[in-house]
A = this chain, B = another copy of it.
Amino acid sequence: MERIPILRMGNTLLVTIQVDMQDRTALALQEDLATRIADTGATGVMIDISGLEIVDSFVGRMLSSISGIARILSAHTVVVGMQPAVAITLVELGLSLDGVRTALNVERGMELLRRIREEAPLGR
């Protein structure tokens, strides 16, 4: 099974999702992220989905789930790079990304993370 790499940049973990997620890959990513957050004490998780042309309810739930897990482990999550067509589809399908913050690209995501870390530090 392929595992999705998690890159550490300072106190942020960066994940780029490129492939269509299968159940096992998604579960492995959640586990890996939880472990890395705990190990590194990262306070931010950035998930880039610019490579995804389709975000269905499965991926939507996974993003919400990762965000929830990260929050419990005292890290904020920002999803970046959503393609316009994906945003349109999400709204059309009535899928909401519960508790997931978004930003246009990595740079704005970093800026957003910096700001929400200052405004609402989570436990550290």
Contacts and interface: CB of A to CB of B under 8 A. Distances in A.
22 contacts: A2-B18, A2-B19, A2-B51, A4-B51, A5-B16, A5-B50, A5-B51, A5-B81, A7-B14, A7-B16, A7-B50, A7-B81, A7-B105, A7-B106, A8-B106, A8-B107, A9-B9, A9-B106, A9-B107, A14-B106, A16-B16, A16-B18
A36 B5 CA distance: 23
A3 B107 contact: no
Contacts of A14: 7, 14, 106
A35 to B, nearest CB: 15
By secondary structure, the A interface counts as: loop
Q: Size class of A's contact patch?
A: 20 to 34
Contacts of A48: 5, 7
A69 interface: no
Contacts of A110: 9
Contacts of A2: 18-19, 51
Going nearest first, the 10 A-B pairs with the smallest beta carbon separation are: A5-B51, A16-B16, A5-B50, A7-B106, A18-B18, A9-B106, A5-B16, A7-B48, A19-B19, A5-B48
